[in-house]
Amino acid sequence: MSKKVFDASGGSGQGIQRAISLPWGKSVEISFRSLRVRLFRSMITVSSLVLAVSFLSFVLVNLDVAAGILKAGGKAAGKILLAAGYDVDLETGRVAMSAKERWIVILSLLVCTVGIVNAQLMSVTERFSEIGVMKCLGALDSMVLRLFLLEAAMQGLLGAGGGAALGCIFSLLAGLIRFGGKAFNALPWLDALGSVGLATLAGLTLSLLGVLYPAILAMRMRPINALRAEH
């Protein structure tokens, strides 16, 4: 009862393309598991994201708070805001980030991205042989890529979401302390929510950008090199 290697049915390229698969549910499960097992590493990757995104969210919601106060209080409020160090355009009634703030935000996001790339590179190196085994078992390059992207997406959502919420809370607290109840009463909640969403999205994007190069390395790696790497 020896078996034929290539059956008539399975020989063509198209048949094979359909034949090798990894359902999304299963992909998510595997990625989630990998993250949970390396919780400490994941936390470090995520924490840099939390910090950077919470800062972004803090700054953005601050602007919303200021804009609300400006709208409610008119010129007088503008003076107060200017005195508090906000970059207020009294004519149009808009509040903008100061150049310094903008730079710090950009820098913190950059540093965070570099940190993510670094952590993900380590994570890929650590899993060389695991990736090689997966490929020996029939995993396609695209599956390996997908697993890493999913991991990054989960980390990104968690870290960026948490960071954005944190930043928002701090910003509201700061507003409360500086301007009292006004900060809350005049706050355009929808804008604030938009700011939190924007910060989350930015964090998620950075997380995915950061994993791209390491994941492509993992994807391109030939199983033979991956298996040898261990010795």
Partner 1 sequence: MNDERHTIVRVINVKKDFPLGRQTVRVLKGVDLEIMAGEYISIMGPSGSGKSTLFNMIGGLDKPTDGKVFIDEVDISQLDAYELAWLRNRKIGYIFQTFNLIPVMTALENVTLPMTFAGMHGDDAQDKGIELLKLVGLGERFQHKPLELSGGQQQRVAIARSLANDPAIILADEPTGNLDLSTGAEIIELLKMLSAERGVTVISATHDYKMLNVSDRVVWIRDGMIDRIENRDELDISVGGITEVEGAPA
- The residues, any chain, with a CB within 8 Å of residue 179's CB and separated by 6 or more, are 65, 69, 80
Containing 30, the helix (H) or strand (E) segment is helix 24-37
Q: Are 42 and 154 in contact (CB under 8 A)?
A: no
**CB of 104 or CB of 229, closer to partner 1:** 229
**CB of 217 or CB of 227, closer to partner 1:** 227
**CB of 37 or CB of 82, closer to partner 1:** 37
**CB of 76 or CB of 137, closer to partner 1:** 137
Question: Which token pair is 181?
Answer: 């109840």
Residues forming a β-bridge with 88: 95
Cβ of residue 23: shortest distance to partner 1, in angstroms?
A: 8
- The residues, any chain, with a CB within 8 Å of residue 184's CB and separated by 6 or more, are 172, 175, 176
Cβ of residue 159: shortest distance to partner 1, in angstroms?
A: 21
Question: Which token pair is 164?
Answer: 């954005």
Cβ of residue 193: shortest distance to partner 1, in angstroms?
A: 37
Q: Enumerate binding residues for partner 1 (CB under 8 A).
A: 1-6, 10-11, 13, 16-17, 19-23, 26, 33-34, 37, 129-130, 132-141, 143, 222-224, 227, 230-231
Residue with tokens 């948490």: 162
Cβ of residue 10: shortest distance to partner 1, in angstroms?
A: 7
